[in-house]
Structure 1
Amino acid sequence: MPQTFNTPADYVDAAREMADAGRPVLARLLAEEAADRTPAPDAAARILAEFPGRSLRQEG
């Protein structure tokens, strides 16, 4: 069954799956997306703290 991404929790769940699968970069990117979609700054900070690392996003 395909994964759907409708809420920040969906992104966090996918990030945890990627971390468990040994894909920390993808996990961090998914966590950053979850944090961006989370309205509460303290909750967003907790999400990012669970998946440490620097951002690899290419904004431009």
Structure 2
Amino acid sequence: MALFTFNRAADYLDAAREMAATGRPTLARLLAEEAADRTPDPDTAARIRAEFPGHSLRQED
């Protein structure tokens, strides 16, 4: 497994794709949601969320 640093939305997206490729869809979705949240463009954020379908898995307070 690659070592990731999480400084940019792209870092979260790369990690999400790796998690999806290794059979960890729940973790992939969480990482993709973070990537989308860190993306300033709403259309790009929507595309990220569409790439990892499903409902939000976050537990918000």
TM range (shorter): over 0.9
Deviation of the 1:2 alpha carbon: 2.9
User: Which amino acid letter does the alignment assign opposite residue 41 of structure 1?
Assistant: P
Aligned to 1:17: 18
The number of aligned residues is: 60
Q: Any gaps of 5 or more consecutive residues in structure 1?
A: none
Give 1:32-51 correspondences, 5 Å limit.
32-51=33-52
Runs of 4+, deviation exceeding 2 Å? none
TM-score (norm 2): 0.94
Q: Any gaps of 5 or more consecutive residues in structure 2?
A: none
Aligned to 2:28: 27
TM-score (norm 1): 0.96
Provide the rounded CA distance (Å) in 1 between the counterparts of 2:3 and 2:22. 17
Q: Matched residue of 1:57: which SS?
A: coil
User: Which amino acid letter does the alignment assign opposite residue 20 of structure 1?
Assistant: A
Deviation of the 1:55 alpha carbon: 0.6
